[in-house]
Structure formats: C-alpha cells, structure tokens
A and B are shown apart, each in its own frame.
Chain A
Amino acid sequence: MASIPSTRQNPTASSSIDIVEGRSLWQDALSRLKQNKLAMTGLYFLSFMILIALLTPWIAPYSYETQNLDMGATGPSWAHWLGTDTFGRDLLTRIMYGGRVSLMVGFVATAVALVIGVLWGAIAGYVGGKTDAIMMRTVDILYALPFMIFIILLMVVFGRSMLLLFLAIGCVEWLTMARIVRGQVRVVRKQEYINAAIAMGLSHWHIITRHVIPNILGPIIVYVTLTIPSVMLLEAFLSFLGLGVQPPESSWGLLISYGVESMEEYPWLIIFPGAVLSLTLFALNFLGDGLRDALDPKASKD
C-alpha cells in the first residue's frame, strides 16, 4: 500500500524539451501530488478503506447482527481476528459495516457543506454590497438556531433516514464554510488580477471559478480535512441520542462510544475501532496537506 507510484519518474523533465507544452494548475498539481509520498500513502489508504466499505456485504466474515450470547466478549483469536463484543458479534465485521456509515457521513455531509458553503460564500464575497449583507445575515440567523432542534425537527417531519441525517449535518456544517470562504474571497476580490480579468471581458461566473476559487483552495482544503472527522463524531453523538444510526447497525463513532463503557474489561472494543478511525483521519490529513501544497505553485520546489 505504501509503495511508491511508478509514474513518479521525470514528471517535469521539461528542461530538454523544445516544444514547451502549457499545463493547467490541476495537471501541475497532480504531478506534484504524485511526488509527495506521505500524501500518496494517505490517498492509497483512503482508497483501500473505501474499497473495503463498498465490498463489505460480500467479504464480511460474519453477520453484523447475529448475536452469540454464549460467547460474550472474547479477545482476538483465529476465528475472530479482532475479537467479539459483549453480544458475541464479530468486531471486524462490525467495524467494516460501521465504516460504511462513517465514511459515507464523512464524505457526503462534507460534500454537501462544501458545495453550499463555497458557492454561498464565494457569491457573497464576490458580489459584495447588499447581496453580501443579506446573504451573510442569513448565515448568522441560521447559526443562531440550535442545530439539535433543527435536526430533531427534520427527523420528526421527514422520518428517520440515513440520507436525511447526512443532509442535515451538511446543512449545519456549511455555515462555517461559507464564512471562511466569504472572508477569503473578499481578500482575493481586491487583488488586481480580478480587475484584469474583468477588463479582459470574462464573465463573472468564469472569474469566480477560474480566478477566485483556485486562490482560496488552501483554507478550503484545510477546513474540509477538519470537517470530515467532526461530522463523523457528530454522527456518533446523534446516534447515541437515538437520532442517527440504530443498533444493531453501527458506525465507528458508536463502536467507540460503546467501547469506552467497557474499556477496562474489554480493551479491544475501543482499541480497534479507535485505531481504524485514527488511521483514517491521519490519512485524510496527510492527503489534505499534500493537496494544499500541490495546488499552491509557490510551495513547490521546482
């Protein structure tokens, strides 16, 4: 998994080429990312986790809900690699199924927050004036609503569903994203290259997507890597209150919170889910850092 990609050789052997090709920021970023071993390791690890999550129903060694009360909690063994929980359910299987929920909530809710937040913030910051005032006061008002009540109301009105949970979390998290993006856009908006782009006759939409957003990617990526773990924990919290995932289904957050209860007797119940979550978050952070550096031409050595 940690193998170095073979395409790493001479991605920028430009010095001897006579016909110089132009390349876009994304092409450059990809070649720079490929040189970052840590980020690539993170990328491979995340891909591996996602692949496992997708294949879980076919490859899981046991059923996630069948209880075996005779067995109780047992430590790791050949039959149960990561041991079993207090109901005698295979922990590996439960971590695999839990990963489906946690990764999905992490990525879907963050994607919702990312799309709404970036668009909202970018438009408010770019247009400015009254539009900005109205849009950002809307954000302030939404901020003031207690989000627990908001989510409970959603659950009551629309019934409990996994997708709704993702959307609800996303709808809460985009507010901060919008604020961060809006502030950054205000700074970029004042730069002369934006005026130069307007003077060139580019459309505002083109300017926002090509000139503004690429220049605020750094903070966005950092915030995304912070948001993913926080929504995973938020999901665990909601599930704990009975608003999210219901037993016998599980998620990493839930596994950990149950593991905490019996930490002293059955330490493996917290060690393994905790380790998987930590490793995933590590991988995410390395990838995020790598992406941020790769997308910033100034950060590269060549």
Chain B
Amino acid sequence: MTQMTQADPKPLLDIQDLQITFHTRDGLVTAVDKVSYQVNRGEILAIVGESGSGKSVSCFSILDLLPRPPAKIEQGRIVFDGIDLLACNRAKMQQIRGNRIAMIFQDPLSSLNPNLSIGSQLLEAINSHQSKLDKKAAKDKAISALQEVGISQPEQRLKQYPHEFSGGMKQRVMIAMALVNEPDLLIADEPTTALDVTIQAQIFDLLKALQAKRNIAILFISHDLAVVKQLAHRALVMQKGKIVEQGEINALFANPQHPYTQKLLAAIPTSAKPSEHKFITNNQPPVLEVKQVSIGYPATKQGPDKVKISEWLLSLFRKPSIQTVVHQANFALQQGEILGLVGESGCGKSTLSGAIMQLIQTQSGSISLNQVNLTQADKQTIRSSRKDLQIIFQDPYTSLNPRMSVYDTLLEPLTLHKIVPKAERHARILQLVKEVGLSPQDIRKYPHEFSGGQRQRIAIARALAVEPKVIIADEPVSALDVTVQAQVLNLLLELVKRHRLSMIFISHDLSVVRYLCDRTAVMQKGKIVELAETETLFNQPQQGYTQTLLAAVPSL
C-alpha cells in the first residue's frame, strides 16, 4: 500500500453530500447535513467541533458503525479508494474494517475487552484479516506491533490483561491493534481526551512518527483546538452538522473566517493571559488548613483464585494492609482565595479532595475548617461542618440524582441545614436558579432535560444553596465543551468572588488553572511537590516535574 503514495490525484476518502438523520421520539434530527470532504493519502485531517456537532457521527458512518435505526443515511456518497462504502454488503464491509480502515476510540479503558489478554486481542485482529499467517508469524507480528508503539518487553506483555496496563499504555495497545493490519486510513476519535497531558504528548509523538513512517492518512476527531494545531495538516470545523470552515491548519488558526471558528478560538483560556487576581496575604487565620495529611486505601487483594474459605473468613476480621496514596500534604487556604491543584491522574488530587470533604478517611495529619479539626471530630460536628464545605464534581451527568427535579435537588440542602425559614424556601430556590443563569421554569425539570453545561450550573447552585465557605471544584469543566467551559468558569469565578468564597480548583488543564487561580499546588505521586503563586509557578517552575508538566501542554 505504502508505495503508491505521493502525487496520487485522487483522494483516499471522498465524502460527498453526506446527510444523516436520527429518528427520535421528538421527531427527525439532522445530525450531519450535506457534508463533503476529502482525505488525501498521508494526510492528517482534523475534524473539530463541540459535542453534538456531528463530527463523530460522520466518521462512524464511514465504517458503518452507526446504529440503524435510529440513524439513517438520507443521501450522499462515501468513496474509499474507489469503493463505494455505502453500497458495500456486510461481508465486504468486514474486509475493509480493521484491514484498510482502522479506528481508535476515545476511551481506552472501555475499548479493550477486559477478559482477554492483550495478545489474544491482537492476534484476533491479525487473524481476522491475514488468515494465511501461521501461528508463529502472527505472534511475531503482534510482538513487533507492540514494539512499534513503544511497549517494552512485548513478549511478556502479550500475556497480560488490559487491567495491568495504564491508560496511556492501553491507548498504545489500541493503536498497535489498529495499525497491525497496515491500514490506509486511521480514524482517531478523540484518542487522548481521557489521558493526562504528558501521556497525551507521548501519544501524539507516536502518532506523528507512525504516520510519517507508514504514510497513512489519519482522520482525527477532536474538540481541542490546541491539540489539533499540534498534529493536523488540515482541519475542518463543524457546527450543528454542517462544515462551517475548512483549510490548512496554520491559515485557519491565524485567520479564522467564520464567526464560530473565531468563537472557538476565543474560548480557549490561553496560557499567556496573566491572572488578574493576586494572592491575598492577610493575617487572618486560614479558612481551611491541611497539615501533614496522609491518606491510604486498603491494599488491593490478590487474585481470588487461591482464596481458601478459612482465609476468607479470617480476612473479614483482619485489618487490611494500607497503601498510602497521599503523603503528608500541607497547605492553607485563605478566605477568598482560589487554590489550584494540578497533577496527572492517579497523583492523589481527587483523594485529597475527598479527604477534605470527609468522604475518605485520613491516616494521619489534621484537616481544620475554621480552626476545628475535622479528622478527630465526632459525627455531629462533621455533619454540621458539611454546611461550610461543598464540592462540585467533574461529571455533571452522574453528580445529579436523575430522579430528582431541580426543585427537589435544591430543596434538600435548604431543608436539611435550615438555611431559610420554610416560607422563604421557594423564593430562595428561584433566586439560586437565577443566580446560576437558569430560568424559573426549569425548576420542575429533571437533570436529563438539561445539557452538560446547564447541569453543571445546577450542581453549582446546589453547592451554593448551603452558603458554604469553601468550595472544592473537582475538574468542574473537563466534561464540557470549550465554549461552555468558558461560560461555566466565568460563572464560578463570579460567584466565588461575589460571595467571598474560598475555592480549591482541581484540574489537569494548566491553562485553566493559570486563568483562574491565585496560587497553584502541583501534585506528583501523592506528594505536593511545588506550591507557589500561580504566575511565579508558571514563569519560574522550580521542580523538574512542574517543568515537564508545563512543557507538555499543547498551546496555540
């Protein structure tokens, strides 16, 4: 395949007037509206857009992965290397899938089968398209495929199961699986969204290297413009099922024509923007003080295959051994201060926030709220202190009870902590709803009737309902679209300032942290390695790890 590459006038993939509709209970929804684009050989084309813009739908239709019904391809043509894909029957489609067009998915955690070893999954991919290979040759091919994506000791790794790999490693395995049959086109659907920045940078380097070596075409779907700029040759911007703009990558970023593209670009909190607020030093005691806090989990058990009944019975009474995930964390939060907490996944930042919220027990150290040590407080004190301490979770899709209307969700904290007299509750709920930018009519609705951004607003309203002193925001915008991210962040910032709240802002997105936070703490492997005023930290990072982290951030 790789020989017939350059100067091929015909595009590898040619999509003409593609229109896809979904038949839903609310009627016909046009997901992709007469979209045409081409992918040339050896080119990386990025499709950018927010969720619901039809970018994934249009790509899924290439491999016939859309559920039909409800999806229906109304019109259009998808021609791949001279083959009309929409006219293909199932058998022919199977020959193309994985063999000539491969795909990697957003979430490596769920796209590998947890019950099969990596080796058998790789071999399955090889055998389904290269049945002539004997066992030995297939295995060699699998090993070399793993080697190519940078997995060391591939022979041993073949026998391992997905849970023994980290997220980045799993995505590498996915890439190996996708490339093992030497496809001409690779469709990558947000391949790094679920990964850390440093891992993301590695995956990009890998994709770029492989692309240059094999000269495959990559169709890259993303909502992250900074990422797209690093990787792609060409980009097209989709909005509401239509392509609003397309062009060569540098030209598109330097001179966006369509207002939507401009809006997308403007919505990115650029790292260059200095934060306007500075760390307030006053002599008042801190609102929240974390001193020498260590947190551990019960160590993970061995496989269940060898457990004897007597051992199992004993284990019920024995204290499990503890694996420490946060080591001696120290910081103090002043009133009105926003403290950023950054680090890769698994560094313990969410565990620490859980401990501050008294959702997770600490091993040692003290957490004091208004000079009251919560780690040694009785249940009653802890419960009443919850009024002063609230949390906003990452995923607004799971943090709201789907069976409770907005009204009930907001009524609960008001009733519990007796914030306002009974007669004023209704008015208070309306006021809260208004404050987060929703309409009074919304209170009767249930969470599923709202978009992600609106749900996060409800979660913010719920946190504000008890009039807390400290809010912990655990990646509050990372599940949202970029333009919505900016709105929710600004709302959060405004409310925190208006109510003079303190906030701990947990994020893996450094540019957002820089935009928002007064001080920033960097965590690595359970330790706070650096804590400084945000600007100082970004301009003169002291620790090696902070420097690595900053360098990995894709920027415009």
B408 in complex: contacting residue of A14, A22, A134, A191, CB < 8 Å? A22
Q: Which of A255-302 contact B (CB under 8 A)?
A: 295-298, 301
Please, which residues of chain B bring their CB within 8 A of the CB of A211? 401, 404
Q: Are A22 and B443 in contact (CB under 8 A)?
A: yes
B387 within 8 A of A: yes
Q: CB distance A24 to B408 under 8 Å?
A: yes
| Cα separation A215 to B403 with both chains bound (whole Å) | 6
Q: Is A156 an interface residue (CB 8 A)?
A: no
Query: Would you give the shortest CB distance from A15 to chain B, in whole angstroms?
Result: 8
Shortest distance in angstroms between B162's beta carbon and chain A's nearest beta carbon? 20
Q: Which residue of B lies closest to A134 (CB)?
A: B316
Q: A193-B401, A215-B401, A298-B448 are in contact. Are A199 and B426 (CB under 8 A)?
A: no
For B408, the chain A residues whose CB sits under 8 A away are 22, 24-25
**Cβ of A201 under 8 Å from chain B:** yes
Tell me if B383 is interfacial: C-beta within 8 Å of chain A.
yes
Chain A residue nearest in CB terms to B394: A192
Does A1 count as interface, using CB distance less than 8 angstroms? no
B301 beta carbon closer than 8 Å to chain A = no
Contact among B400, B407, B429 for A193, CB-based, below 8 A: B400
Residues of chain A from 198 to 214 with CB closer than 8 A to chain B in the complex: 198-202, 210-211, 214
* Contact (Cβ within 8 A) B384 A192: no
Question: Interface 1/0s, chain A 100-123, versus B by CB < 8 A?
Answer: 000000000000000000000000
CB distance from B287 to the nearest CB of A (A): 17
Q: Interface size (B, Cβ < 8 Å)?
A: 46
Q: Compute how far the CA of A15 lies from the CA of B204 in the bound complex, rounded to whole angstroms.
A: 50
Q: Nearest Cβ in chain A — how far from B345, in angstroms?
A: 16
A196 at the interface (CB under 8 A from B): yes
Stretch at the interface among B13-21, B31-39, B173-181, B409-417: B409-417
Closest to B410 in A: A22
Name the residue of chain B whose CB is nearest to the CB of A198: B359
A-facing mask of B427-449, CB < 8 A → 1, else 0? 00110000000001101101011
> Chain A interface mostly helix, strand, loop or mixed?
helix
CB distance from B509 to the nearest CB of A (A): 19
State whether A297 touches B446 (Cβ < 8 A): yes
Choose one: B316, B390, B395, B444; the contact of A192 (CB below 8 Å): B395
**Is A68 interfacial (CB 8 A cutoff)?**
no
Q: Is the CB of B399 within 8 A of A23?
A: no
- Asked if B61 lies at the interface with its beta carbon under 8 angstroms from chain A, I say no
Nearest CB of B to A16, in Å: 10
Q: Are A295 and B403 in contact (CB under 8 A)?
A: yes
Judge whether A25 and B417 touch: CB under 8 Å.
no
**Cβ of A198 to closest chain B Cβ, rounded Å:** 6
How many angstroms between the C-alpha atoms of A215 and B440 in the bound complex?
A: 25
Judge whether B233 is part of the interface by a CB distance below 8 angstroms. Answer: no
Residues of B with C-beta under 8 A to A195: 354, 357, 359, 391, 393, 399
A20 at the interface (CB under 8 A from B): yes
Question: In the assembled complex, which residues on chain B have CB atoms less than 8 Å from the CB atom of A15?
Answer: 441
Kindly identify which residue among B359, B413, B429 contacts A22, using a CB–CB cutoff of 8 Å: B429
CA distance A5 to B412 in the complex (A): 33
For A210, list chain B residues within 8 Å (CB).
404, 412
Q: Is A142 an interface residue (CB 8 A)?
A: no
Residues in B with CB closer than 8 Å to A65 are: none
Contact across chains for B443 and A20 when beta carbons are under 8 A apart = yes
CA distance in complex: A20, B441 (Å): 6
Q: Does B386 contact A (CB under 8 A)?
A: yes
Contacts of B316 in A (CB 8 A): 130, 133-134
Shortest beta-carbon distance from A147 to chain B in Å: 24
Is A192 a contact of B398 with CB atoms below 8 Å?
Answer: yes
Shortest Cβ distance from residue B518 to the other chain A in the assembled complex, whole angstroms: 24
Q: Separation in Å of the A210 CB from the closest CB of chain B? A: 8
Which residues of A sit under 8 angstroms from B402, Cβ to Cβ?
Answer: 215, 297-298
How distant is the Cα of A128 from the Cα of B407 in the complex, in angstroms? 31
Residue of A nearest to B474 (CB): A192
Partner of A201, one of B25, B387, B406, B448: B387
Known: A130-B316, A297-B402. 19 other contacts (CB 8 A): A22-B411, A22-B444, A23-B405, A23-B444, A24-B408, A193-B401, A195-B393, A195-B399, A196-B393, A196-B459, A199-B358, A200-B390, A200-B412, A200-B413, A201-B387, A210-B412, A211-B401, A214-B401, A297-B446
Can you list 28 residue pairs at the A/B interface with Cβ under 8 Å? A14-B441, A20-B440, A22-B405, A22-B406, A22-B426, A22-B429, A22-B443, A25-B403, A192-B393, A192-B394, A192-B395, A193-B398, A195-B393, A200-B386, A200-B390, A200-B413, A201-B384, A201-B417, A202-B416, A210-B404, A217-B403, A295-B403, A296-B403, A297-B403, A297-B446, A297-B449, A301-B25, A301-B26
Hey, which bits of chain A sit against chain B, CB under 8 A? 14-15, 20-25, 28, 130, 133-134, 191-193, 195-202, 210-211, 214-215, 217, 295-298, 301
- Give the interface of B toward A (CB within 8 A): 25-26, 316, 354, 357-359, 383-384, 386-387, 389-391, 393-395, 398-408, 411-413, 416-417, 426, 429-430, 440-441, 443-444, 446, 448-449, 459, 462, 466
